[in-house]
Structure 1
Amino acid sequence: MSQLAPPPAGKTAVITGSNSGIGLGIARSFAGAGLNVVLNSYTDRKEDHALAEEMSKAHGVEVRYIGADLSKGDEARRLIEDAGTCDILVNNAGIQHVAGIEEFPAGKWDAIIAINLSSAFHTTAAALPMMRESGWGRVINIASAHGLRASPYKSAYVAAKHGIVGMTKVVALETAQEPITANAICPGYVLTPLVEAQIPETMEKYDMDRETAIRDVLLTRQPSKEFATTDQLGGTALFLCSDHAAQITGTTLSVDGGWTAV
């Protein structure tokens, strides 16, 4: 059996929303595989640039940080332009708000659609010409189990993630006869610092121990009763960049412990 072939050497990956959580996990996996990486978020702090420098030294690849407010289409496109090259685009940036439709603030709806969906349109539109010029490319959209299923009180998030899945299919069809693929990864619940911070609150609210709070509350919809990890998502994204995945395009890969099998 052949081993997983790494992505071609010298390629550059631009990962939106990558100074923490899922995006950072994917960035670390990519850098560890020898890919150059562009980190991004809206914050543009000293710590963000230090994170890029630390990752670069650890893996011997070029890692840069470029700040951009992805709620604005022109800044999303500028991110790609400032990167200079984009062989692999990972659209990961996202925000969330929970409320019933009648109470859902219009401003929150607009922001979620802009960051979770529209930014991916703008970055993809800017990156595809670079991929075509270099003769190779990968578009990886981080959707969600909510791109395939719905939950109450998450109208904007569910709409955006369903939209990401649909846009992924369109990009795949438009590039089907080129060495470019487009796929969406649909995670369920992932153990990120934000989720980790919710565990003590959940334990206190329901008067449960840690294991019970995770199994019966946080992971109630995830049949495996285990979180996915950022490292697992990084490995999945890396696989999609390998030659083994050259004929995988226009589809979704669920990393959700069986959630969408129900």
Structure 2
Amino acid sequence: MVAPSTLGHPRVAIVTGSSSGIGEAVVKQFCQEGLQVLAVDANPQGLDIAEAAGAVFYQADLTDPEACRGSVAETIKRFGHVDILVNNAGIQHVEALEDFPEAKWHQIIDLMLTAPFLLTQAVWPHMRQGQWGRIVNMASIHASVASPGKVGYVSAKHGLVGLTRTAALEGGAAGITVNALCPAYVRTPLVERQIADQARLNGMDEQQVIEEVMLKNAAIKRLIEPDEVAALVSYLASEQAGAVTGACWSMDLGWTAQ
């Protein structure tokens, strides 16, 4: 469980991509632990999800640099400080490299690599001032391996690992830890939307995609549940994880054990 701050106030967390899947699960986990949470998402439906969990919702399109900085400014305005940042917002586009739209490439990189950089940069002075911070970057198994049809996604996730490791080296002296979490396929709307795309790309039916693409290299033949990921995020954001930084935590059902 995430510990209270040294000033006796609850820890404050920003969670991006909060309206479904992993982000929603992390918001619920943090709120159950007594944290104050700013739940950030471009989807206005995230308001109901955030309020139901006990979080504050902030609608923002994080492909806009000002929205990234605005998310942190809103957190400071509402709560006075920020202790935890979970960079989770993401999108997916499945297409062969030669057909991959340039606009989609820029959207993916802006949301999944540039936004985590800008958010990290914006929270940094506040965490450094408090001599405590936890940043968890939601990478993916595709931060370690590649798959056909995912050039934008894979490139962004590989880059996110580089950001994680560099920030970890710079943050250690200030008590800031930075880690990446690398799950395989999680049962989220993002993954469910991929099934039809992968079926089209590979000339398969959807059940074949699940068995022969998503779970082919997994020792444990199932999808990961969002609350399983949230539990590991909670640990990485805790006082007990103070010695863990610059790490890429595999949660891949045994995919990379081969």
For residue 176 of structure 1, report the CA deviation from its aligned partner: 1.4
Amino acid at match of 2:205: Y
Preserved contact between residue 195 and residue 206 of structure 2 (Cα < 8 Å): no
Residues of 2 paired with 1:259 and 1:154: CA distance? 17
Unpaired segments ≥5 residues, structure 1: 57-62
Aligned Cα root-mean-square deviation (Å)? 2.1
Preserved contact between residue 141 and residue 184 of structure 1 (Cα < 8 Å): yes
Preserved contact between residue 91 and residue 190 of structure 2 (Cα < 8 Å): no
2:168 corresponds in structure 1 to 172
Matched pairs, number: 245
Q: Secondary structure at the match of 1:71?
A: coil
For residue 200 of structure 1, report the CA deviation from its aligned partner: 9.3
Preserved contact between residue 18 and residue 46 of structure 2 (Cα < 8 Å): no
Preserved contact between residue 88 and residue 138 of structure 2 (Cα < 8 Å): yes
Answer with 230-239 or 190-199: which moved more. 190-199
1:55 corresponds in structure 2 to 53
Q: Secondary structure at the match of 2:14?
A: strand
Matched, 1:65 2:57: yes
Matched, 1:125 2:117: no
Answer with 179-188 or 26-35: which moved more. 26-35
> TM-score, with normalisation over the residues of structure 1?
0.87
Preserved contact between residue 189 and residue 222 of structure 1 (Cα < 8 Å): no
Amino acid at match of 1:50: D
> TM-score, with normalisation over the residues of structure 2?
0.88
For residue 86 of structure 2, the aligned residue among 85, 90, 93 is 90
Preserved contact between residue 181 and residue 250 of structure 1 (Cα < 8 Å): yes
Amino acid at match of 1:11: R
1:1-262 to structure 2, matched below 5 A, reads 6-8=2-4, 10-43=10-43, 45=44, 47-56=45-54, 63-84=55-76, 85-196=81-192, 206=205, 214-262=210-258
Identical counterparts, % of pairs: 40
For residue 7 of structure 1, report the CA deviation from its aligned partner: 2.5
Q: 1:147 to 1:179 in 2, by over 3 A?
A: same
Amino acid at match of 2:153: Y
Preserved contact between residue 7 and residue 241 of structure 1 (Cα < 8 Å): no
Amino acid at match of 2:51: E
Q: 1:105 to 1:196 in 2, by over 3 A?
A: closer
Q: Secondary structure at the match of 2:233?
A: helix
Q: 1:200 to 1:73 in 2, by over 3 A?
A: closer
Q: Secondary structure at the match of 1:19?
A: coil
Preserved contact between residue 182 and residue 252 of structure 2 (Cα < 8 Å): yes
Q: Secondary structure at the match of 2:37?
A: strand
Q: Secondary structure at the match of 1:120?
A: helix
For residue 193 of structure 1, report the CA deviation from its aligned partner: 3.5
Amino acid at match of 1:206: D
Residues of 2 paired with 1:91 and 1:207: CA distance? 30
Residues of 1 paired with 2:98 and 2:212: CA distance? 29
Amino acid at match of 2:25: G
Answer with 163-172 or 66-75: which moved more. 66-75
1:60 corresponds in structure 2 to none
Preserved contact between residue 144 and residue 188 of structure 1 (Cα < 8 Å): yes
CA deviation profile, 1:40-73 (whole Å, cap 9, x unmatched): 1112x2x4322222211xxxxxx10001111111
4+ runs deviating over 3 angstroms: 193-202, 205-208, 212-218
Preserved contact between residue 169 and residue 246 of structure 2 (Cα < 8 Å): yes
Amino acid at match of 2:19: N
Q: 1:16 to 1:215 in 2, by over 3 A?
A: same
Q: Secondary structure at the match of 2:19?
A: coil
Amino acid at match of 1:135: Q
Amino acid at match of 1:176: G
